[in-house]
Structures are given as structure tokens and as C-alpha cells.
């Protein structure tokens, strides 16, 4: 820049044409030298920021600057963590972000400013005037340097042997080193080696570096005042931003991961420390100490120590921990009792019996009935008052003393009958021996003796509760009491039942009520009378008695002695009506089936058979199904009488004349009853080819009636035959003695249904 900007233009003929020029580099830039067109002369040098030139008409002078770059370097221990950044060269005022990331089990500690830097010093050529030598700093053409007070810089000098490197207070260098600056400088004027510059706090704000051989080959050194907080406003943050205005070296410092241990406690004790910072994995011993009259209860905190009751523990630090020691007051027992025992109730404050040291406890005695309070034994405030206080300083025992009062006893016998009702004479069941009075809590002897036929049930309180079942017992009373000594009449269980309730009932003793079933208790040894009562249509059959054994009786009235449990069963049977059949006229016929008791297994069949010279006419009477059929059924429920009426006939017919086939004289062949010989001279006799001599009764003249009774002389038996029961070559017949038979006239054999066998005819 000109010495006076207003004089940048002038009249070269009339005005002074020699001008002084001064170039001042802005922060972040370095002045490199002057250039002009046409080429002008600069004094003392075109490389000097302050120079004099004689411009000519139309001259142009240029001040040449270069941009400074500042180096940012970071350091860290690779095993401890890493740093992410754009490490390198940056422009003046540029903001650079850095992030420090710790490794496993490590924590970030802080950023550290490294207050030193190294530069390499060599000789190079001016980029403006190639013939002029220039000092090169880290291969940069004579840059201006920003150095910080308190920092140390090392210049690794590599110059010719006759060209020493040094620091000066003046931009101008000469051979006398008159302006050489030596504050904090080691090895000044070195040509090949290290010049060390520890920037003093009182160093001037501007210095210069030079080579002695070549004038104006160096440049400006700005001396900056920078506190650590200016360089690193937040050194403890792992993520920072750095403003670049000089060369900076930073170190990310990591440390072993640390954890905070905080320990608290409630009232009643203390711990050996309250908090601390410990490395990861460190083992820390913790102690809880209770105060007097307190106990250590437990630790609270992480899962490893929750509920631990040992006051001495060790904790391995793997994370921040907050633990708490819990103390509780020692609870001293207050033991209270009564003398005599159970003669009263003692209540305390809130009905508690354990208290911390120094607690004043109120106690109150409530005597039981028939006991009176005397005094307290033990350390109480007022031993003669039912309500007093106790000061708890240790385990304490207090006794309430009481005296007994007498009780009145009313003890009476009661005798219950087998029905459970009291008997008129309360002493009928036994006698008792008891006292008239007693004292509260005193054992009293009670005795009971049962009479014959009775047993003692027990001693019962007036509220019905059984006190004892023993004949002789000791009881204790706390108040006036009424007691019953209960005797019970001995009994046996008697169960009476009708086997079939529809057939009848029974009456007990001289009663009027009748029963089909009854279960009652009966006094032991009592006589009983049970009367049978048959239903209409039934009659008494028998008694069956189950007791110590089984026995029966056919008497309608049963007499028993109740000496054991009994079960009695009465059985009735149905009355079977009888049927009487009268034949009219007499000797005109007979009744082979139907007279007598009614058939119980089916219809009652009646049959009328005419004698010789008669035929059946009809039945007369009630309940007959078919009055015209000689074989029919009759229904009756009481003894009854009916009449079978026959009529006389004049002509006799042989058996089954309607189906008879005459094969030879007087021999008759039938389709169902074989061969037989007959003529009128034989009357009712005939000779049967298979059966021999046979006497027959002809029943009817009708051609459709082919049935009769035959007397088989060889069998000495009557048989009843009917063509209705015939099959080819044979017939079913009914034998009066043998029952039903089948006669096979073809094979001359017969089958007996009663014996289930075939026999020769």
C-alpha cells in the first residue's frame, strides 16, 4: 500500500516521483514481495514490505501475498480409543470438528494442548523474483508464522554453512546481528541443526526470522497470547470444534473407565465413606456400623447385595452404584404375665410387646371374672394401679399379681329316656358326688355312678357344651356355673317291616296305629308285642326275627324281649279262592279239570265230560267265558260255585265216525287215531290195535265234535283225546296220570313231555 493513498496518481513532470510503499499482510496471509510494470527499482529491496520506488508514467506496482495454511495434528493412544477428524492443513479462521471415541472399558478424559511444534527450514527461490533466495518453512515460501507465548518451537535448519539462521526484532538483517533476538532461543545462528525457540511471556508482539547471507529472505513472526481456554474452550468434551489461527497439536487423552459409588444410610448407623470414583473392575470394601441400640438390617442396591445382612461387603465396580445401608432400632421384649396364670389380660400400647430403647409403654390389666388385682411386680411407675407405665431400656419382665374369688356350683343329675326326653325322676339313671363351691382356677372332683339299665353320658355346661365324658373327672371353674350330669336309658334298635307293604300292616303293643315299617329305640330288656294285620285277600304267613341269630314264628302276635338290636319282618300270603262245580243231573257226567283252588299261573280252565247216554249242554254261573263250550275258562276272586248241565242222548257213536274208514268188518281205520275194533254189542268198549282194550265216552253227536275220554286198560289210566290235536299219523293226548303225550300210530311209539323221552307204545 502507498504511504498516502491520495497520491496514487500524480504529475510525473511537476511532482516528486519517488514514493515510499508499505505492505501489511492481513491475518492468514504472508507478504512475498513487490512487482511492477514496467520494471521499477525498489530500495532497499523488492522483498521488503517497506520500500521506496520511483514510478514512471503509467507504472503499476503490485504487492504480492500468499495464503497461509496452518497444520492441525492430533495424537492418541490407539489401544485407548480413536479420533475422527480432518487432520491436515487449514486456512486461517477455519473451524475444524474433532471427536474422540474411547475403546471398551475406557472413558474419554480430556483434550491436551501440545505446546510445541517442529518446522523444517531450507532455502528456496522467490516465486516473484526467481533470482532471489527465500527461506522455505515446511516447503512453503517464507510464510509468516503465528507463534504462541509459552509454546516451544523447534526449527530443523538445513542451510549452507555460511548462512546461519536466527530470529530478529527487525525486518532488516545485516552482518552485525545487531537486532538478533535471543530470548528463549537455543542454538541461534545455526546452519545445520535445531534452533529451539521457547516463546517467553514477555516476547514482543512481532519478530522476524532471517538467514544471515540473504537479506529479506525471511518473514514476520507474530507472537500471540493464547490461554488454554482460548485454544480449547471445552477440553473435557469428547466432541470439540477448533478455530484455526496457528499451528496446533492436540492429544486426546483416555483413561480407564471409572464408576461412581454412592453410599447412604438411614438413621441408626453409619458407613465408612459416602462416595468415591473407582476404576472399572475395582473391588471396594464397604462397612456398615450400627449405633448403640440399633442393628444393621440389610443392604439395598443392586441385585448382588439386595437383602444381604452382612455389614461387611465387597463391591466389584462395573457401573455406577447407589447403595443404602438400612439400620433398625433394637426391639427389646416386654414380657407380661399374670399370677396365677390366665387370671387376667394385659394390654400394652398398640398391643405391642417389643419396643425401641427409651420407649415409655403404658400397660393395663383386665382381671378375669372372680379375680381381683393386687399389684405389679417389676420396674413400673405405679405398682398399685391397674394402668401404669414401663420405661424400656432392655428386656423387661412385668408380672400382675391377682387373687382368686370363690365360685358357686349348681350340679344336678338329668336322666333321659330312650326318646331323649327327661324322665320324671332325674336321679333314675344314677347318682353324683360333687362339691357345693370352689375357687377360681381350682380343680374340682366330680363323680357319677350309673344305675343298671342306664349309662353316664357326661358333664354338660349350662350352654350345652360337654365338659367331660368321664364318670370321674377334675374340672376348673372361673365363674359361678350350672352343670348337668346326664344319664341315658340304655336301648336297643328295633326295626319292623312288612316284606310286601301291599299285603298288610302291623300294630305295636297296645297301640292303635298300624305301620308297614317302623324303626324305634326300645329300652333294654323291655317286652314287646307285635300284632299282624293282613290286608283284604291276604292272610298271615310268618314272622322272621334277625338278632343274635335268625328265627321264625307262626303266631299272629309276636312277643319279644328287647335284649339286642333286632330286625323283624312279617310276611303275608294271598288267599286263593276255590271253585265248586255241580254236575246236573247227577251221574250224567264228571269234571276232570276245574274244581278246587284257582289257577295262579294263567286262566282257570274248566272241563265237563258227559257219561254214557249223555251229552254236555251248558255251564251256569258267574265269570264263565263260553257257556256252551264244555272246555272253557272262568274268572273268580272269591270262593264260587258253578253248574255243569248235561242232556241225555239215545244213540252212541264210535270214535271219530265222521272220519272213520271201514276196511274190514267191524274194524275202523281213522286218519288220526289208528285202527280199532268195535260193534254195538261191545257197548263202550273197543279194541285198539296199538292200545289194547279201551273204554270210551262219546261226548257229542255233532260231526265236528271228535273228542272224548278213554280208559286204557293196559295203562290203567284215563286219556283225553281230540281230533283238534291230531297230526298225520298221530295225535296229542292228555293222560290223567302222565300229563301230555304224543301218540305216533305209524311207528307205534309215544313221547312223554313230562319225562322228555320216547317209549314203545
3-state SS, 339-372, equals: ECCCCEEEEEHHHCCEECCCCEEEEEEEECCCEE
Cα separation, 290 vs 72, whole angstroms? 59
Same domain for 100 and 247, yes or no, is yes
What percent of the residues of the chain are helix, what percent strand, and what percent coil, each to the nearest 5?
0, 55, 40
Are 325 and 304 found together in one domain? Answer: yes
CATH number of the domain residue 82 falls in: 2.60.40.420
What's residue 393's pLDDT? 93
Residue that terminates a domain, selected from 550, 574, 598: 574
Of 523, 515, 516, nearest in space to 560 by CA: 523
**Domain contains 655:** no
* Terminal-to-terminal C-alpha distance of the chain: 178
Half-sphere exposure of 107 (CA within 13 A, CB side): 13
Structural domain count, the chain: 8
Using a 10 angstrom Cβ sphere, with 0-12 exposed, 13-18 middle and 19 or more buried, the burial of residue 720 is buried
When comparing pLDDT for 476 and 447, which is higher? 447
Residue 224 lies inside a defined structural domain of this protein = yes
What are the start-end ranges of the E strands in 114-229?
A: 116-125, 133-137, 140-141, 145-148, 152-158, 165-168, 185-186, 192-198, 206-211, 219-224
Q: Are 225 and 244 in contact (CB under 8 A)?
A: no
User: Is residue 647 scored above 80 in pLDDT?
Assistant: yes
- Out of 171-175, 746-750, 751-755, which region has the weakest mean confidence (pLDDT)? 171-175
Domain boundary (268, 298, 329) is at 329
Q: Check which CATH number belongs to the domain holding 537 and give it.
A: 2.60.40.1140
Is residue 653 assigned to a domain?
no
Give residue 381's pLDDT: 94
**Backbone angle region of 531, left / alpha / beta, with phi > 0 → left and psi within -120 to 50 → alpha:** beta
Q: Cell 375357687 sits at which residue?
A: 439
For residue 654, being part of any structural domain is answered with no
Mean pLDDT calculated for residue range 325-345: 94
The pLDDT tens digits for 368-416 are 877 889 999 999 999 999 999 999 999 999 999 998 777 788 889 999 9
**Which of 489, 514, 547 marks a domain boundary?**
489
Same domain, 214 and 234: yes
Q: 655 pLDDT exceeds 90?
A: no
Q: Are residues 390 and 415 in the same domain?
A: no
Q: What is the residue-wise DSSP string for 687-725?
A: EETTTEEEEEEE---STT--EEEEEETTTTEEEEEEGGG
Domain carrying residue 57: 5-67
Residue 441 has pLDDT above 80, yes or no: no
Same domain, 623 and 718: no
485 and 495 within one domain: no
Q: How confident is the model at residue 548 (pLDDT cuts 50, 70, 90)?
A: confident
Same domain, 548 and 667: no
**Together in a domain, 317 and 389:** no
pTM passes above 0.75: no
Average pLDDT of span 182-194: 96
Are 100 and 223 in a shared domain? yes
| Residue 151 included in any domain | yes
- Asked whether residue 739 falls in the same domain as residue 695, the answer is yes
Higher per-residue confidence, 624 vs 724:
624
Q: Are residues 630 and 538 in the same domain?
A: no
Q: Do 280 and 386 belong to one domain?
A: no
Amino acid at each position: 500500500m502507498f504511504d498516502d493513498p491520495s497520491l496514487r496518481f500524480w504529475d510525473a513532470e511537476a511532482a516528486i516521483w519517488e514514493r515510499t510503499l508499505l505492505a501489511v499482510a492481513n491475518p492468514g496471509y504472508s507478504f512475498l514481495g513487490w512487482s511492477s510494470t514496467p520494471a521499477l527499482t525498489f530500495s532497499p529491496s523488492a522483498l521488503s514490505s517497506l520500500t521506496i520506488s520511483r514510478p514512471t508514467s503509467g507504472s503499476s506496482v503490485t504487492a504480492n501475498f500468499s495464503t497461509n495454511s496452518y497444520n492441525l495434528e492430533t495424537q492418541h493412544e490407539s489401544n485407548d480409543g480413536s479420533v475422527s477428524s480432518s487432520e491436515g492443513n487449514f486456512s486461517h479462521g477455519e473451524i475444524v470438528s474433532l471427536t474422540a471415541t474411547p475403546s471398551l472399558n475406557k472413558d474419554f478424559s480430556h483434550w491436551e494442548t501440545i505446546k510445541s511444534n517442529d518446522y523444517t527450514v531450507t532455502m528456496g527461490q522467490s516465486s516473484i523474483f526467481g533470482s532471489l533466495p527465500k527461506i522455505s518453512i515446511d516447503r512453503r515460501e517464507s510464510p509468516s508464522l503465528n507463534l504462541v507465548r509459552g509454546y516451544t518451537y523447534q526449527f530443523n535448519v538445513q542451510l549452507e554453512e555460511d548462512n546461519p539462521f536466527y530470529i530478529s526484532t527487525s525486518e532488516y538483517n545485516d552482518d552485525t546481528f545487531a537486532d538478533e533476538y535471543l530470548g528463549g532461543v537455543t542454538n541461534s545462528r545455526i546452519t545445520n541443526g535445531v534452533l529451539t525457540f521457547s516463546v517467553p511471556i514477555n516476547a514482543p508482539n512481532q519478530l522476524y526470522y532471517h538467514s544471515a547471507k540473504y537479506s529479506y529472505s525471511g518473514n514476520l513472526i507474530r507472537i500471540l497470547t493464547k490461554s488454554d481456554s482460548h485454544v480449547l474452550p471445552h477440553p473435557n468434551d469428547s466432541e470439540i470444534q477448533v478455530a484455526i489461527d496457528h499451528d496446533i497439536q492436540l492429544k486426546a487423552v483416555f483413561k480407564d473407565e471409572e464408576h461412581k459409588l454412592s453410599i447412604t444410610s438411614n438413621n441408626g448407623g453409619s458407613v465408612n465413606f459416602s462416595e468415591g470414583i473407582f476404576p472399572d473392575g475395582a473391588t471396594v470394601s464397604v462397612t456398615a456400623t450400627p449405633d448403640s441400640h440399633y442393628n444393621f438390617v440389610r443392604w439395598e442396591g443392586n441385585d448382588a447385595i439386595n437383602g444381604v445382612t452382612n455389614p461387611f461387603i465387597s463391591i466389584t465396580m462395573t457401573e455406577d452404584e447407589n447403595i443404602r445401608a438400612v439400620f433398625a432400632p433394637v426391639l427389646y421384649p416386654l414380657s407380661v404375665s399374670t399370677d396365677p396364670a390366665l387370671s387376667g389380660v394385659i394390654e400394652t400400647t398398640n398391643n405391642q410387646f417389643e419396643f425401641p430403647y427409651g420407649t415409655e409403654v403404658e400397660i393395663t390389666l383386665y382381671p378375669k371374672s372372680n379375680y381381683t388385682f393386687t399389684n405389679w411386680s417389676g420396674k413400673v411407675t405405679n405398682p398399685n394401679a391397674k394402668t401404669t407405665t414401663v420405661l424400656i431400656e432392655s428386656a423387661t419382665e412385668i408380672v400382675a399379681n391377682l387373687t382368686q374369688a370363690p365360685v358357686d356350683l349348681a350340679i344336678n343329675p338329668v336322666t333321659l329316656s330312650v326318646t331323649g326326653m327327661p324322665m320324671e325322676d332325674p336321679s333314675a339313671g344314677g347318682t353324683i358326688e360333687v362339691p357345693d363351691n370352689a375357687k377360681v382356677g381350682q380343680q374340682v372332683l366330680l363323680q357319677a355312678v350309673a344305675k343298671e339299665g342306664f349309662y353316664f353320658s357326661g358333664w354338660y355346661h349350662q350352654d350345652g357344651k360337654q365338659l367331660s365324658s368321664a364318670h370321674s373327672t377334675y374340672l376348673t371353674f372361673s365363674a359361678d356355673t350350672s352343670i348337668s350330669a346326664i344319664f341315658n336309658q340304655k336301648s336297643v334298635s328295633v326295626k319292623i317291616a312288612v316284606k310286601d307293604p301291599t299285603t298288610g300292616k302291623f300294630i305295636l303293643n297296645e297301640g292303635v296305629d298300624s305301620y308297614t315299617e317302623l324303626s324305634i329305640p326300645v329300652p333294654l330288656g323291655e317286652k314287646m308285642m307285635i300284632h299282624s294285620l293282613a290286608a283284604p285277600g291276604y292272610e298271615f304267613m310268618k314272622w322272621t326275627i334277625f338278632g343274635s341269630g335268625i328265627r321264625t314264628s307262626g303266631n299272629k302276635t309276636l312277643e319279644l324281649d328287647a335284649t339286642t338290636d333286632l330286625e323283624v319282618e312279617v310276611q303275608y300270603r294271598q288267599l286263593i279262592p276255590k271253585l265248586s262245580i255241580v254236575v246236573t243231573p247227577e251221574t250224567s257226567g264228571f269234571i276232570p279239570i276245574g274244581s278246587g283252588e284257582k289257577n295262579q299261573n294263567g286262566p282257570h280252565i274248566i272241563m265237563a265230560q258227559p257219561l254214557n247216554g249223555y251229552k254236555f249242554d251248558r255251564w251256569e254261573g258267574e265269570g264263565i267265558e263260553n257257556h256252551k263250550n264244555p272246555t272253557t275258562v272262568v274268572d273268580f276272586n272269591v270262593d264260587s260255585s258253578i253248574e255243569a248241565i248235561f242232556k241225555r242222548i239215545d244213540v252212541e257213536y264210535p270214535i271219530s265216525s265222521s272220519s272213520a274208514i271201514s276196511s274190514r268188518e267191524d274194524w275202523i281205520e281213522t286218519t288220526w287215531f289208528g285202527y280199532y275194533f268195535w260193534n254195538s254189542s261191545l257197548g263202550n268198549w273197543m279194541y285198539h290195535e296199538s292200545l289194547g282194550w279201551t273204554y270210551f265216552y262219546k261226548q257229542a253227536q255233532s260231526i265236528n265234535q271228535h273228542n272224548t275220554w278213554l280208559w286204557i286198560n293196559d295203562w290203567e289210566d284215563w286219556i283225553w283225546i281230540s281230533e283238534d290235536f291230531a297230526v298225520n299219523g298221530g295225535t296229542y293226548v292228555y293222560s290223567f296220570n302222565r300229563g301230555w303225550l304224543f301218540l305216533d300210530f305209524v311207528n307205534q311209539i309215544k313221547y312223554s313231555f313230562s319225562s322228555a323221552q320216547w317209549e314203545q307204545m
